[in-house]
Amino acid sequence: MTVMGTARPAGRPRSERAEKAIVDATLDLIGEGTSVSELSIESVAARAGVGKTTIYRRWANKEELVGDALATLKAPLPEIEGRTVREDLIAYLDVMRQDSLTVRTRCIMNIAMSEPERHPRLYERFQRTAIEPRRAAMRAVLERGVATGELRPDLDVEMAIGMLTGTMLWYTKGAAHGLLPGGVVPADLAPRIVDEALRGFRPS
Amino acid sequence: MTVMGTARPAGRPRSERAEKAIVDATLDLIGEGTSVSELSIESVAARAGVGKTTIYRRWANKEELVGDALATLKAPLPEIEGRTVREDLIAYLDVMRQDSLTVRTRCIMNIAMSEPERHPRLYERFQRTAIEPRRAAMRAVLERGVATGELRPDLDVEMAIGMLTGTMLWYTKGAAHGLLPGGVVPADLAPRIVDEALRGFRPS
DNA sequence: ATCATACGATACGGTTGCGTTGCGAAACTC
DNA sequence: GAGTTTCGCAACGCAACCGTATCGTATGAT
């Protein structure tokens, strides 16, 4: 008899190795610039060294596979709790900058962000698991700054988030495609953005 | 004999009506959310009420067709030359906000901006004809402000552009997909962004 | 009238990917 | 060992779309 209360179903158990290979292959292909619509189950199977059957046994369609794959990238969300608001904001923005340096992260971001109308549930899910936590963390830092008097009491926190994040995104997006003078995101971009923004965020 | 120096080639001339119908159909389909990779010549032909031959006679491939189609949307770039820097910036940002309200413009922007790695020439072309002129206009306003003393002499103009534009894009992108509290871009967003940003741009 | 070209329509062979099925081997329970 | 399920693999019929070719017709110049 089985020790576990929930009896393991008879037969050969599903291979965790195969499952991981499938998810990895999916992320790899997306990371190489394949859009969701271009991504084919066959290419995933080939890349993963797996039969199509093994994929269809676990996921009903492409969208669910991609959804699960992207969900495994739960933002590590570095535990930042520095001293000043400035330092914390710089730390968060610099995570974005570093992320933008890896092609894989950039492509995945691109996919997850750029096709919301075509894959609304996918977009929503990624937003919830990856974006919103980071936004909340930044919001907490800003609200703490307002509470301590480091920032203006009437600061529009949501807009402040938008200014910081939007500016960094503008740069990373532009630099990735040769719009910036140097063609690369400057290493000191995070502190520059934060310092420029804080100039208006501080009490007058 | 022909009056014109450049003799018109013999035979039936190409139909301008067909050409316009093809370009319109292309823009319509893209505006409805079809990505460039998903867009098929056959669907364009069907939508335009035109034979595939008529398309292939003018464009060698999909990319050139899309390129020409997008190029017909040469940004009108409103002639703004208000009085204060604040008013001019608000006017420019509000153009962005209004653009984001139409589904068609939003989809086209999405396509043109989101697939640079897959269609680099397309992206570069759209960037040159549509984005860069607007950026230059905003840069001129900011530099004028620096010259008149309305803005800080040491203002990083490029970053200022990034902050203004990036913040607006952040909002329009977020609002389009239900991330914002109200789900819509506030009508007074442009002045709010500009006022928040100018707080740091002005001389201290 | 004649000639040249473009027109829309239709069909073609070729490619890609879909989602399904059948196969023999492997893995695990009882 | 018997029974069950998953494995990778190959093949299937189906659909979409590619780019080309071939129709008969339409539209112009000479």
Q: Residue A132: what residue type?
A: E
- C-alpha B31/C-alpha B25 separation (Å) is 10
A107–chain B Cβ distance below 8 A for any pair:
yes
User: Which among A37, A110, A159 has the least Cβ separation from residue B37?
Assistant: A37
Question: Residue B167, SS3?
Answer: helix
Mean pLDDT of B95-123: 78
Residue B136, pLDDT score? 92
Interatomic CA distance for residues B144 and B138, integer angstroms: 10
What residues of B are in contact with residue A182 (Cβ under 8 Å)?
Answer: none
According to CATH, what is the number of the domain A16-71?
1.10.10.60
Task: For domain B85-201, say whether CATH 1.10.357.10 is its number.
Answer: yes
Distance in Å from D20's C1' to B42's CA comes to 14
Lowest average pLDDT, out of A90-94, B21-25, B95-99, goes to B95-99
Q: What is the pLDDT of residue B104?
A: 74
The band of B19, judged by pLDDT with boundaries at 50, 70 and 90, is very high
Give the model's confidence band at B176: pLDDT under 50 very low, under 70 low, under 90 confident, else very high. Answer: low
What residue spans define the domains of chain A?
A: 16-71, 85-201
What's the pLDDT score for residue A4?
A: 47
Say if CB A166 and CB A113 are below 8 A apart: no
Furthest-apart CA pair in chain B: how many Å? Answer: 74
User: What pLDDT, in 10s, does the model give residues B4-18?
Assistant: 455 677 889 999 999
Residue in this structure with the two tokens 């596979």, named with its chain if needed: A65
Q: What pLDDT, in 10s, does the model give residues B32-80?
A: 888 888 999 999 999 999 999 999 999 999 989 998 998 887 667 777 7
In this predicted complex, what is the ipTM? 0.80
Rg of chain B over all Cα atoms, to the nearest angstrom = 21
Residue with tokens 């871009």: B185
Q: Of B61, B60, B73, B62, which Cα lies nearest the Cα of B126? A: B73
Q: List chain C nucleotides near protein: any atom < 7 Å from a Cβ.
A: 3-11, 16-23, 26-30
CA A138 – CA A92 distance, rounded (Å): 7
Most confident of A125-134, B36-45, B102-111: B36-45
Residues around strand D, C-beta < 7 Å: A 9-15, 18-19, 21, 49-54, 57; B 1-2, 7-8, 10-13, 39-43, 51-53, 56, 61-62
**What distance separates the 2 farthest-apart alpha carbons in chain A?**
74
Q: Do A115 and B35 touch (CB under 8 A)?
A: yes
Subunit contact A196:B156, Cβ cutoff 8 A: yes
Which candidate in A132, A157, A196, A202 is best for mutational testing of the B interface (most B CBs within 10 A)?
A196
Average pLDDT of A63-70?
A: 90
d(CA A130, CA A70): 9
With a CB cutoff of 8 Å and minimum separation 6, the contacts of A35 are A111, A115, B35, B37, B115, B118
